[in-house]
Amino acid sequence: MDRNRIALAVTFVVTILSLFVGLINLVSNVSSSKLTKVDAGSGFGTDRLGAALIKIEGEIHSGRSSYDSAGAQTILEQLRAIEDDSNIVGILVEINSPGGSVGASQEIYKELMYLRKDKNKKVVVSMKDIAASGGYYIASAADKIYALGGTLTGSIGVIAIAPNIKGLLERYGVKVRTFKEGKYKDSLSLFRDNTPEEDAMIQKMLSDTYEEFIEDVAKGRNQTVKFVEALAEGRIYSGQDAFRNKLVDDIGGRREALAELSKLCNYDGTLPLFEEEVNPWDRFFQLMQAKSGGFFGGEKAFLQELKRSPVLVLYPNSMAW
């Protein structure tokens, strides 16, 4: 009883605090689209030439970014806000991500390619600890890619994961009834084995996505499909190995990447670097959501590990959580 009361009290406090933060956020005058200088040069704003800093951190997914993940909607809004800004001549993309969902990675890749090809924005990527699978997919849209010697990258491949707990349920006498309209509606079900026909269908879906992945990397890197295929199949590379295999262009961090971006933009010196100003209440609210989600029984640890695996993951409906 005491534990229930404590849990209820904590839930109530977190709810009230969340509502309070939300109300403050609504009346706050801080704009989430304002750019502020973060590195190099002098002055604030975009009344002078500069480059935009875009950070892609954590699992890549559709929707809005969270405290520890990168949402395609948030990233696309940041990129589209600068596409017609003539003062933003370059984009520095910092990636620290193991990958994520296919569609989200493709959307960001295509937007960067559009800015690079149609809007004449120079794009340079700086890889951090990891830029694998979906992270590398996005990176391949850049004019130049920089990685640290110890960066984990590559993992050009696609995977779909569907746990099967049929045996466990049978052991304890648990039966699951499924009602469906459509022969394949419960493909990749947790509760039964796939048929050979369903396995072939899923494999075809993965093969199509894999081919598109390779073609897009080849297009972004100005390489042949055959060249990328030889380095794909899910292989993971260190930054040094990726450099030797021409998956990245050079070894270095933000300093070197920004210097190269300045050079590509024909800028005398180092381009001022601007980043979207984040509403502090938004950041605080995201942190509270992350903390409360973990406390009140969020995702299981093994599911989190699956989502953080360094592969470009497809999440079918049976894997939604």
Question: Any idea which residues carry the catalytic annotation?
Answer: 133, 185
Tell me which long-range contacts 199-208 makes (C-beta under 8 A, separation of at least 24): 202/160, 205/160, 205/314, 206/158, 206/159, 206/160, 206/314
Contact criterion met (CB below 8 Å) for 17 and 288: yes
Cβ neighbours for 302, distance < 8 A, ≥ 6 positions apart: none
Residue 203 backbone phi and psi in degrees, to 5: -65, -35
| Pairing outcome for strands 250-251 and 273-276 | unpaired
Token output for 317: 């409906």
Number of CB atoms found within 10 A of residue 249's CB: 19
> Residues 60, 61, 65, 68: is their CA dihedral positive or negative?
negative
Q: Give dist(CA 264, CA 266) in Å, integer.
A: 5
Residue 29 CA, distance from chain mean position: 29
Element (H, E) at 50: strand 50-57
